[in-house]
A and B are shown apart, each in its own frame.
Chain A
Amino acid sequence: MTADARLLSTAQRLGSNALHWLHRAHQDGHGALPPDAGIDLSDPDTAYKPIGESALAASLILRDGVAGARDLAAAGELIEFCWHQLQSGNLLYERQLRFPQLTDPLETYAHFARSGYRHRQLDELLASLARLRATHAAELVPNRRLAVANARRVIGLEHRPDWDALTAAGWLGATPEPWAIDWSTGYDLTHTVFHLTDWGAGPDGLPTPLRSYLRDWLPVWVDIWLETGQWDLVGELLIVDSCTGEPVCGLDPWERLAGAQHPDGLTPRDTEPVDQNPARAFKDHEHTAVVAAIAGTVTLARALGGSPVPA
């Protein structure tokens, strides 16, 4: 088997294992919103945010269409579960209606819209909000602005963001000294690429100088965070590598990331011991499972050169 074939096989296995771990965890009742959850979430990170992240991973697997039948079925069930948790979009609608300045209902809805789930009143509300100067004046950090712009693009809202200006405002846009990166900035960078390329669907959304910059330095950053066992960030950087359309990091980081994955598909976020309590383990590592599932689908889809599947 060539190195390229081994890379794709490793990415496929890593992503598939992570997807089924997520799917099983949801079947086991982890990741559900509390029954009394309303629009006024005191801590959106507890279940609401993970639901959106699982929906994102599922929506990309369904969009890319490069997974096997069993994976596609699991992704379909997973996004259906998440949509059900959000009361078929009602919770997003009520939350957005009550809090017009929040961006999380918009961003979460985009994952479902990508897979054809629509909520007519939320569509109408978001279209109305997009016409307000107040909406566009929200004070967000640059990679969050890109997240919102991409969510509007996916949902199909009428808008004409200045992508170049949005890109230039962020860390990556400055093509900074590559040795000045840190862990947190690493995540700013990965998200900038995710949104500019809509998770790999459009590598051309990444300006050529940035693609060239990433080709130079991604291997260094992947190497550094592999050495410290920051598997979550390594996974995000490998997604970025695939999103550029011309990956440069090679097989080794994939094999090391896959080597860190547990036999049941749990993908640890770092080298700390995994909590024996399944609920705690889900909370700690669901994000990395999402990352691994996305890394698998985006990498296969880019390598196979397929067109995204229409919702």
Chain B
Amino acid sequence: MPVTDTSLRDEYAAAVERVAGRALDALTGAGGAVVLTDPTSTAELAALRVLGPDLFAAQLLTGAPLESVTTASLAAALLAFPPAPAAPVGQDALVVAWLDHVAGFLAGRSVPQPADVPDPEHWQRWSVRMAQLAPLALPGLDGPVHRAAHHRPLALARGATRAMLRRDHRTALRLVRWLAWLGTPTPLELPPLLDRLRLVGDGSRRTTLELTITERLLTETRR
């Protein structure tokens, strides 16, 4: 009877963990730049696409030049998993289009910039979109999404609080990341919230990477 060790979903999740671990090692000085190790692994290429701007966290947070090997790796991932060719329709597609645009920018490839930013009318929905766009919350990536974040710190803070109370800790962490990225006093005290998120986190490399990026944004960046 044929059996497989892992489902496709598990295989891709494991790849995201491996690549997140490499980005974390690069950020903490425990390893070199993130690089594609197996060009034939679609799971690894997908993981590079999933991590996107976070692959460059070590450089973006310190103002260092982007690592060319990481740029080339992400470019390969964009070839394997190309952005949607059509203009985004709907808020979900808009989020993906922004992530693709910034990934293209970092990979040295031209991916069109969406014409709109997420609709800010309802802070609940908008904050969830912003959480999905949290990989953009790194120094050096400023654009319309970042300006929207600057204009609505209370909506980000309400979204983070709502996510905490819904025990959606990933969304909460990503909104705290935006608040940390703002670099200005926010309606929420971030260190105790970050402490709490560290304690309730799932312990994955990806979560640890996002926690570490947020801590660095809080303590090291001066915008």
Taking beta carbons and an 8 Å cutoff, which residues of A are in contact with B? 177-179, 181, 216-217, 219-221, 223-224, 227
Contact = CB atoms under 8 A, between A and B. Distances in A.
Interface string B185-200: 0011100110010000
Given A216-B157, A223-B124, A181 B192 contact: no
B184 to A, nearest CB: 16
Contacts of A223: 124, 162
Given A220-B161, A220-B162, 4 more contacts: A179-B172, A179-B196, A219-B123, A220-B158
A179 B154 contact: no
A179 B179 CA distance: 15
B160 A179 contact: yes
Interface in B105-135: 123-124
Contacts of B162: 220, 223-224
A178 B124 contact: no
A162 to B, nearest CB: 28
B222 interface: no
A223 B123 CA distance: 11
A206 B179 CA distance: 29
B166 A224 contact: yes
Interface in B133-188: 154, 157-158, 160-162, 164-166, 172, 187-188
A216 B164 CA distance: 16
A228 to B, nearest CB: 9
7 contacts: A177-B192, A179-B196, A220-B161, A220-B162, A221-B165, A223-B124, A224-B162
A221 B124 CA distance: 12
A5 to B, nearest CB: 21
Given A179-B160, A179-B193, A223-B124, A216 B165 contact: no
Contacts of A219: 123, 158
* Most central of A216, A220, A223, A224 by chain B CB within 10 Å: A220
A263 to B, nearest CB: 30
Contacts of B124: 223
B158 A177 contact: no
Contacts of B189: 177
Contacts, number: 33
Nearest to B187: A216
A220 B157 CA distance: 10
Contact of A181 (B158, B160, B165): B165
A178 to B, nearest CB: 5
Contacts of B154: 216
Nearest to A181: B165
B72 to A, nearest CB: 41
B193 A177 contact: yes
Nearest to A225: B165
A221 B164 CA distance: 11
A179 B164 contact: yes
A179 B162 CA distance: 7
A181 B165 CA distance: 8
Contact of A217 (B161, B172, B192): B161
A224 B165 contact: yes
Nearest to B164: A179
B94 to A, nearest CB: 23
Nearest to B189: A177
Contacts of A227: 166
Which 10 residue pairs across A and B have the least CB separation, nearest first? A179-B164, A179-B161, A224-B165, A220-B161, A178-B161, A220-B158, A220-B162, A216-B187, A177-B192, A179-B165
A34 B188 CA distance: 51
B157 to A, nearest CB: 7
Contacts of A177: 188-189, 192-193
B193 A220 contact: no
Contacts of B123: 219
The interface centre, meaning the residue of B160, B162, B188 with most chain A CB atoms within 10 A of its CB, is B162
B165 A220 contact: yes
Contacts of B196: 179
Contacts of A181: 165
A55 to B, nearest CB: 34
Contacts of B158: 216-217, 219-220
A224 B172 CA distance: 14
A219 to B, nearest CB: 6
A160 to B, nearest CB: 35
Contacts of B172: 179
